[in-house]
Amino acid sequence: MTLQHPADRGGAGRGRFERFAESVSTVTSSPAFFVFCLALVSFTVAVHIARIATEWLLLAGDSMTAVTLLLLALLKNSELRAERAIQRKLDAIAAALLEAQEGEPGKAHETLRDVIRMEEEI
């Protein structure tokens, strides 16, 4: 396990967590997951309105908390990956523009080609 950000590691290989976060991000952005969350919120409200036993209130509250924390972690992971990819692309574009202005294409043009498809790596 590494604490280094995926965008900083380099290379085409993604770890298990990155692949897991990507697939879960796809699921959580679907209409089916929205319906699940809506049902969970409705269940929580219904339990409170109906004044059902305390165990059901705890179950509803704990379920909402767990889903919220998991989504927060996945959202932050997705945000960091996108932010780093965009920054690396902007840096590569700026370096390639400077090289083009100087009239001698070099390493920056190669780097620019590498970062164009960065989302597939990260």
Indicate the length of the chain as a whole number.
Answer: 122
Single pTM value for the model: 0.54
Up-side HSE of residue 67: CA atoms within 13 Å toward CB?
16
Q: pLDDT 10s per residue in the chain (122 long)? A: 555 555 555 555 667 877 787 788 788 888 898 898 888 888 888 888 888 888 888 888 888 889 888 888 888 877 887 888 888 888 888 777 777 777 766 777 667 666 666 555 55
Of 46, 49, 26, which is closest to residue 38 (Cα–Cα)?
46
Q: How many CA atoms lie within 13 A of 54 on its CB side?
A: 0
Rounded distance, CA 75 to CA 98, Å? 35
Task: Report whether 95 contacts 112 (CB < 8 A).
Answer: yes
For 21, residues 6+ apart whose C-beta sits below 8 A from its C-beta are 74, 77, 78
